[in-house]
Structure 1
Amino acid sequence: MSRKPNILLITSDQQHWNTIGAFQPEIKTPNLDRLVKEGTTFTRAYCPNPTCTPTRSSLITGQYPSQHGAWTLGTKLSEKVHTVGEDFQKAGYETALIGKAHFQPLASTEKYPSLEAYPLLQDLDFWRQFDESYYGFKHVELTRNHTNEAHAGQHYALWLEEKGCTDWRNYFLPPTGTMDPQQVHKWAIPEEYHYDTWIAERTNALLEQYQSTDQPFFIWASFFDPHPPYLVPEPWDTMYNPNQLTLPKLQQGEHAANPPHFRLAQEEKPDFSSYRESGFGMHGFRSHLHNEEELRKDIAVYYAMTSLMDKYIGRILDKLDQLGLAKDTLVVFTSDHGHLFGHHGLIAKGPFHYEDLIRVPMIVRYPGHVPEGRVSASMQSLVDYAPTLLSYAGLPIPSSMTGKDQREVWNGRQEAARDHILCENHHEPTTIHLKTYVNERYKLTIYYNHSYGELFDLEEDPEEVRNLWDESEHEALKSKLLLRYAWAELGKEPTWMPRIANA
């Protein structure tokens, strides 16, 4: 490899795997479609945890949440944990993160002190002067809000004021702002002040800076959409007709054989109090009953949020072309986890490890290396990203990283680097603690201290409506998969020998 490649990681937040226009005609994503045409799409990519902090920490550590320690929301990734950005910096790379980090919680505690917490979150003087390396990223520009959430602040708020948007608080909820909480779907913020615009503009400014100094770079452009709340500025709010979209639905009786929290979620006033232990928020443990007409409107806006984000992903791709950087830049697009918007009667993430939630969209482009227009079913995990990116740069892969080096798979020279996926969800110390094992055909989910679980045949039952866990004729299969799951857990352990990437 004559020149170390530049690396551009682009992520969305909570994007369902089937929301790329090249494969799903109900949504328009021309720039992601462009990546599909110019690179390889991986149709079986998975997150290591279906919530933000654990998976985002896995992206930069190459470790599972049970290894890096940021096991749920409300915890944090320790600053002592080794990250891929440190390796890139030592190799002479510029490293930067623009957008969402979420390595630390919104509430700072003695156990988990946080820079991303109130009130520091909105101390603009602090962020104006902030120039420290953050988890291996030499340069960061951050915010924490999804659409109109009150968490707006940090570098995004500074940018808004620099752009002349001095009344920016009007577009966010109290106590930060004055926006009416009853306003839904259409966000009054002008597109020129939307955080998609900010992320693209600031990412492009860094591309220009790094191109001028001829330094290799690792940039993470971390978008916030299409994570709810469902809000988008005009004219995007009317881009999709809710009545022309396919509405995912619950099939009658499909939760009869599932663990009890699936059925509770279909009650009007479910009692989940027995699951509460730590005081951390329990995602998804509420009623998921919904009005179909309102859900259609939500989906229309969810798609619009994706399409708006796609526009600004295009701005970044165009800048790579304009600067002559595209041929030397490995571009990877993915999301931190999926989303449930009516699938199986569910409308939010939680301990529901359906493909809709744990699978993610994934596209890789690197001209002359990664095959163009290819679609691969090779199994991918976001925990593999750190070692794989180091491999492309010809850098040693630390023994602490337990993800797989997928470079030969991304380059199309190898069929697979892994034969299974592990997805963890440790949202409470004992009551919400589950792990999922997925191989080419089957999916197995086990729960700590419980004899119930899930077993799906993804080949015969791709919609995951028939749980085979308690069916006597599948006892032998369940035993075999439980053993394979145990082997997979053993295989997660570090080898304690540094791996050398092939240059």
Structure 2
Amino acid sequence: MPNVLIIQADQFRADCLGVAGNPDVRTPHLDRLAADGVRHREAYCPFPVCTPSRYSLLTGLHVRQHGGWTNRCTLAPGIDTFPRALRRAGYRTAAVGKMHFTPTYLDVGYDQLELAEQDGPGRYDDDYHRDLAAAGLAPVTDLIDQEREFRATAPSSYWDTFGTGRSNLPEEWHSTSWIGERARRVLAGWTETGDHLLHVSFVKPHHPFDPPAGWDDAYDPAALTPLPGWTDTIPAADRRHRREYFDYEPLDLPRLRQVMAHYYATITHLDHEVGRLLDLLRRRGLYDDTLIVFTADHGEYLGFHHLLLKDGPMYDPVVKVPLLVKLPGQRRRGEVSDALVSLIDVAPTVLATCALPPASPLPGTDLTDPAAGHDTVLAEDRRHGVAGMIRDRRHKLLWSDVAGDALFDLAADPYELTNVVDDPAHDDALRRLRAAAARWALHDATPPTYLDPAAPQRGAATAGDRAVRQELFAGAVERYRTDR
């Protein structure tokens, strides 16, 4: 059976690939991967938050089916995943990087876990931060951005730059480099007989946008072009949405371009590590017959509607994701698909490629089929009340407890600026999308979040180890503040 390599990024805007037509970002290795497979231009996440989206990728289920509604949730026992299915079939399964599970080393089907987490208890449990602590290092720029206790007293420079800047870590200790190096170790152990699964999940380009020295000056901010959808102010309709991380009113073009420069630098650094992984497969003669999927858990506004990050309406830049699928045997090389697809389609695609049936029917579709796609794709959000998105080829419907309903005619209004929910000319589209949402019960009460901190794991840190790292990192942040 073929080998499987899943490469996942975090908060990667779909049009931030050279092959997608971005005028500035450099992604030569991902562009080459796209040329060897199928690039899906209309791929969407089912929930624009890390853990819920990741569980959907693993299970092939919508969030209301797997019950993982927050970043602190557990995949319930009895819900199958494609790693579990491959393990049952005799595959050697491994994951490297950010998984964002609760508990940290939750057993979802990976026999080997080497983790690099970013938020919550996982940071103090995982392999990456154990290595940092053993080397006397601390990820200070990341801690200030991600941990509330440190962020509350962040320096003014942090707020002025929206959290962007050079990482305090040298390149070899940056999470992107560490994840790439650990993943290459796993690939180096693959045998020629096949039956290997590796899931490589990078923390970046998730904020903070903190490339290491040697990458932080890869882009000249003044030379960058704001991406489509930038507005000089926050549109009135978006002001009703809560903005968790920053006040975006002061965002202007010079500061946006600086954010973009560091965001692009983290992407190009990531692309470099992806290239090293793919080159290793090529040198070992394993590339052609390996299923390779590159995607992300959600997108990034990056100036769209004067916003950054992901907290707000489910506009395309935050719910659309890159999706590249290279099939074994050099099939469908260089194809571009405009079919509506979703991260729930990854699991059935892996299973079909490995000739394994799903344990139960899945709502997704097998992307090895050139006719694969959906009439509509949907996403949900439960961070601030009930919110949802459903769209077809032309129209998108958003609903929210905070802001009400909005309908966009994407053919006439690709940047989602004009709400036509009350325009009789679009009544048919509104009825059609509302009916599709009703079939998924998207307006119904939210099933409860499943959480079990004592669920079976494939490794763990001791409480004493966690306490030592917390003390070490807190001291490093305090010294950083004092030095500045």
For residue 401 of structure 1, report the CA deviation from its aligned partner. Answer: 2.9
Mapped partners of 1:172, 1:479: distance in 2: 45
Alpha-carbon distance change, 378 to 477 in structure 1, aligned in 2, over 3 angstroms? closer
Alpha-carbon distance change, 45 to 21 in structure 1, aligned in 2, over 3 angstroms? same
Would you say 1:438 and 2:414 are equivalent positions? no
Aligned to 2:434: 482
For residue 25 of structure 1, report the CA deviation from its aligned partner. Answer: 2.4
For residue 285 of structure 1, report the CA deviation from its aligned partner. Answer: 7.8
Give the secondary structure class of the aligned counterpart of 1:326: coil
Mapped partners of 2:383, 2:141: distance in 1: 32
Aligned to 2:109: 136
Mapped partners of 1:150, 1:40: distance in 2: 34
Aligned to 2:136: 166
2:435 maps to amino acid: L
Aligned to 1:40: 38
2:112 maps to amino acid: H
- Percent identity between matched residues is 33
For residue 251 of structure 1, report the CA deviation from its aligned partner. Answer: 4.1
Mapped partners of 1:7, 1:251: distance in 2: 41
Would you say 1:12 and 2:9 are equivalent positions? yes
- Indicate conservation of the 8 Å contact 1:251/1:465, yes or no: no
From 314, 324, 333, give the equivalent of 2:294.
333
Aligned to 1:315: 276
Aligned to 1:381: 342
Mapped partners of 1:421, 1:84: distance in 2: 21
Would you say 1:185 and 2:165 are equivalent positions? yes
Unaligned runs of 5+ residues in structure 1 are: 105-114, 117-131, 266-271, 273-282, 491-503
Mapped partners of 1:171, 1:400: distance in 2: 44
- Indicate conservation of the 8 Å contact 1:455/1:467, yes or no: yes
Give the secondary structure class of the aligned counterpart of 2:305: helix
Higher relative contact order (CA 8 A, sep 6+): 2
Matches within 5 A, 1:439-478: 439-447=392-400, 452-478=404-430
Unaligned runs of 5+ residues in structure 2 are: 159-163, 443-484
Alpha-carbon distance change, 171 to 451 in structure 1, aligned in 2, over 3 angstroms? closer
Mapped partners of 1:75, 1:88: distance in 2: 23
Mapped partners of 1:46, 1:328: distance in 2: 27
From 314, 317, 325, give the equivalent of 1:364.
325
Would you say 1:420 and 2:376 are equivalent positions? yes
RMSD: 2.9
Give the secondary structure class of the aligned counterpart of 1:435: strand
For residue 287 of structure 1, report the CA deviation from its aligned partner. Answer: 3.5
2:97 maps to amino acid: G
Aligned to 2:206: 227
Alpha-carbon distance change, 484 to 161 in structure 1, aligned in 2, over 3 angstroms? closer
- Indicate conservation of the 8 Å contact 1:93/1:216, yes or no: yes
Aligned to 1:100: 98
From 259, 264, 283, give the equivalent of 2:240.
264
Matches within 5 A, 1:201-220: 201-211=181-191, 214-220=193-199
- Indicate conservation of the 8 Å contact 2:248/2:308, yes or no: yes
TM-score, length-normalised on structure 2? 0.81
**Segment drifting more, 242-251 vs 298-307:** 242-251
Matches within 5 A, 1:78-97: 78-97=76-95
- Indicate conservation of the 8 Å contact 1:88/1:95, yes or no: yes
1:10 maps to amino acid: I
For residue 152 of structure 1, report the CA deviation from its aligned partner. Answer: 5.8
Mapped partners of 2:270, 2:407: distance in 1: 36
Aligned to 1:301: 262
Would you say 1:156 and 2:156 are equivalent positions? no
Alpha-carbon distance change, 303 to 171 in structure 1, aligned in 2, over 3 angstroms? closer
For residue 489 of structure 1, report the CA deviation from its aligned partner. Answer: 5.1
Mapped partners of 1:171, 1:347: distance in 2: 18
For residue 220 of structure 1, report the CA deviation from its aligned partner. Answer: 0.5
- Indicate conservation of the 8 Å contact 1:170/1:177, yes or no: no
For residue 133 of structure 1, report the CA deviation from its aligned partner. Answer: 7.0
For residue 143 of structure 1, report the CA deviation from its aligned partner. Answer: 2.2
For residue 7 of structure 1, report the CA deviation from its aligned partner. Answer: 0.6
Mapped partners of 1:231, 1:400: distance in 2: 42
**Segment drifting more, 453-462 vs 172-181:** 172-181
Aligned to 1:108: none
For residue 72 of structure 1, report the CA deviation from its aligned partner. Answer: 2.1
Alpha-carbon distance change, 475 to 451 in structure 1, aligned in 2, over 3 angstroms? farther
For residue 289 of structure 1, report the CA deviation from its aligned partner. Answer: 1.5
String of CA shifts for 1:174-216, please: whole Å, max 9, x gaps: 799999865751113111112222212221211222226x341
Count of aligned pairs: 429
For residue 169 of structure 1, report the CA deviation from its aligned partner. Answer: 5.9
String of CA shifts for 1:324-349, please: whole Å, max 9, x gaps: 11121010001100001210111121
Alpha-carbon distance change, 376 to 297 in structure 1, aligned in 2, over 3 angstroms? same
Aligned to 1:278: none
- Indicate conservation of the 8 Å contact 1:57/1:70, yes or no: yes
